[in-house]
Amino acid sequence: MAFEGLAGRLQETFNKLRGKGKVSEEDVNQMMREVRLALLEADVNFKVVKDFVSRVKERAIGQEVLKSLTPGQQVIKVVNEELTQLMGGTQSKLNMSPKPPTIIMMVGLQGAGKTTHTGKLSKYLQKQNKQPLLIAADIYRPAAIKQLQVLGEQLKIPVFSMGNEVSPVEIAKKGIEYAKAENRDVVIIDTAGRLHIDETLMNELLQIRDEVKPHEILLVVDAMTGQDAVNVANSFHETLSLTGVILTKLDGDTRGGAAISVKAVTGCPIKFVGMGEKLDQIEPFYPDRMASRILGMGDVLTLIEKAQATVDSQKAKDLEKKIRSAEFSFEDFLDQLEQVKKMGPLDEILGMIPGLNKAKGLKDLKVDDKQLAHVEAIIKSMTKEEKQHPEILNASRRRRIANGSGTSIQDVNRLLKQFEDMKKMMKQFSNMAKTKGKKKKGF
């Protein structure tokens, strides 16, 4: 999970401060020494750490914080605000041209995830009712054009290519003419990468840029390379004047140094982050939400957005009705489980829930996907009647289900008990809601 180490370290530091009625200047100094170390260990740029620590100290030692009623909380608030500021303050959105097509040029080193993110971004835009066209302008890597075409087919998005004999500048130019003729409103150009930055690469990218005058030049960099990612961003920005960064593989980056330093070092905002290999694992980058995640305050907004994007709203309404009438069955339960699974890996989802994301706590919690698979197997081994009327599950039926699902009778019993408890709770809630409703009507 992203930021595991840093989040854990910072939370430990803050826990010492939380709830303290009195915080001295020495407390703040001590805490900031720990924060400084935690940030350096997370591979945050040295100068960025230094400036950050001195800014927080200056504000935290200020009178209004130390003399406030909840100084501990106030210091954490200052850290949160400064961390948000460091990562750009507010969300930096894509610059869409009022006169279509919007031209987006993707640049980056080989292996950073450029082609994958060309696909992800086009899917993201497609969901917002845009009609993208992809241009295959990487003529050097043998499989690059094919890779983009496969993505295009998968996403049902057209891909413009002229093979690998024509210059990338020409391909980009012709591709844009084609997009205009076909009324495509966004064009994403996948350019060539190299293993290292070199002059030939930069010259070619400059030529494409000057020819097509893109509205966005997005650099794709791999978060797992830490400070290297920041250095790469710096070099590309100096030559090409980037408009934004897509930070990929954040799902595998336990340190988070690049995410925190890129904006502060280069001045160039992170616009999106890549959270996995699948095509929908791209998220807009919100500095405030990211700061919250790092400080262990969760990220409820992203969680809600994910739920809204994946949960079927009709199903949600039907479910609410069933809960109110206490008709909730194992079939509904299974349905719910599948909806939650669609939202992504469990630990990623739990990481967004405030209080649940303390790295240590998560490890103890062990809500692994395997356990869920057990629950699923048990429910799937029930007959339709059993799913709807679990009260008929006698000992022999339970044994059959345990055998069928490869679990034990204890596992089956535990699930039945949990299910009953859940139903009781739901009944209580719906009774509470009913009496509340009646009271309201009485007025």
Nearest-approach distance from CB 141 to ligand GDP, in angstroms: 7
Verify binding: residue 111, ligand GDP, rule CB under 6 A. Answer: yes
Looking at beta carbons only, is 132 or 193 nearer to ligand GDP? Answer: 193
Verify binding: residue 248, ligand GDP, rule CB under 6 A. Answer: yes
Q: Is 194 annotated as a binding residue?
A: yes
Nearest-approach distance from CB 121 to ligand GDP, in angstroms: 11
Nearest-approach distance from CB 254 to ligand GDP, in angstroms: 12
Number of alpha carbons in the 13 Å side-chain half-sphere of residue 207: 16
Residues numbered 275 to 294 that lie near ligand GDP (CB under 6 A) are: 275-277
Residues numbered 154 to 193 that lie near ligand GDP (CB under 6 A) are: 193
Sign of the torsion formed by the C-alpha atoms of 261, 267, 272 and 277: negative
Question: Residue 253 is encoded by which pair of tokens?
Answer: 């980056």
Verify binding: residue 247, ligand GDP, rule CB under 6 A. Answer: no
* Residue 5 one-letter amino acid: G
Distance between CA atoms of 225 and 233, rounded to whole angstroms? Answer: 12
Nearest-approach distance from CB 237 to ligand GDP, in angstroms: 18
Q: Is 109 annotated as a binding residue?
A: yes
395-406 burial: b if 16+ Cβ within 10 Å, else e:
eeebebbbeebe
Q: Is 110 annotated as a binding residue?
A: yes
Distance between CA atoms of 203 and 187, rounded to whole angstroms? Answer: 21
Looking at beta carbons only, is 27 or 138 nearer to ligand GDP? Answer: 138
Which of 68, 70, 97, 110 contacts ligand GDP by CB under 6 A? 110
Strand order in the sheet with 282-284: 159-160, 132-137, 186-191, 102-108, 216-222, 244-248, 270-274, 282-284
Cβ contacts of 111 within 8 Å, gap of 6 or more:
193, 195, 222
Q: Is 89 annotated as a binding residue?
A: no
- Contacts with ligand GDP by CB under 6 A: the residue count is 17
Distance between CA atoms of 244 and 107, rounded to whole angstroms? Answer: 11
Looking at beta carbons only, is 283 or 299 nearer to ligand GDP? Answer: 283
Q: Is 291 annotated as a binding residue?
A: no
Q: Of 103-111, 127-135, 262-270, 285-293, which part binds ligand GDP (CB under 6 A)?
A: 103-111
Q: Of 1-9, 109-117, 206-214, 419-427, which part binds ligand GDP (CB under 6 A)?
A: 109-117
Verify binding: residue 152, ligand GDP, rule CB under 6 A. Answer: no
Nearest-approach distance from CB 10 to ligand GDP, in angstroms: 24
Which of 45, 80, 84, 116 contacts ligand GDP by CB under 6 A? 116
Q: Of 1-9, 20-28, 72-80, 108-116, which part binds ligand GDP (CB under 6 A)?
A: 108-116
Verify binding: residue 113, ligand GDP, rule CB under 6 A. Answer: yes
Nearest-approach distance from CB 194 to ligand GDP, in angstroms: 10
Closest to 124 (Cα-Cα) out of 343, 277, 283: 283
Looking at beta carbons only, is 60 or 201 nearer to ligand GDP? Answer: 201
Q: By rule CB under 6 A, what string of x and - marks binding of each residue 33-72 to ligand GDP?
A: ----------------------------------------
Which of 45, 115, 243, 302 contacts ligand GDP by CB under 6 A? 115
Verify binding: residue 108, ligand GDP, rule CB under 6 A. Answer: yes
Which of 71, 214, 274, 344 contacts ligand GDP by CB under 6 A? 274
Q: Is 423 annotated as a binding residue?
A: no
Residues numbered 366 to 425 that lie near ligand GDP (CB under 6 A) are: none
Verify binding: residue 148, ligand GDP, rule CB under 6 A. Answer: no
Write the CA distances from 420 to 48, 119, 305, integer angstroms: 53, 45, 30
Which of 82, 216, 251, 283 contacts ligand GDP by CB under 6 A? 251
Residues in binding site for GTP: 108-115, 190-194, 248-251
Contacts with ligand GDP, residue ranges (CB under 6 A)? 108, 110-116, 193, 248-249, 251-252, 274-277
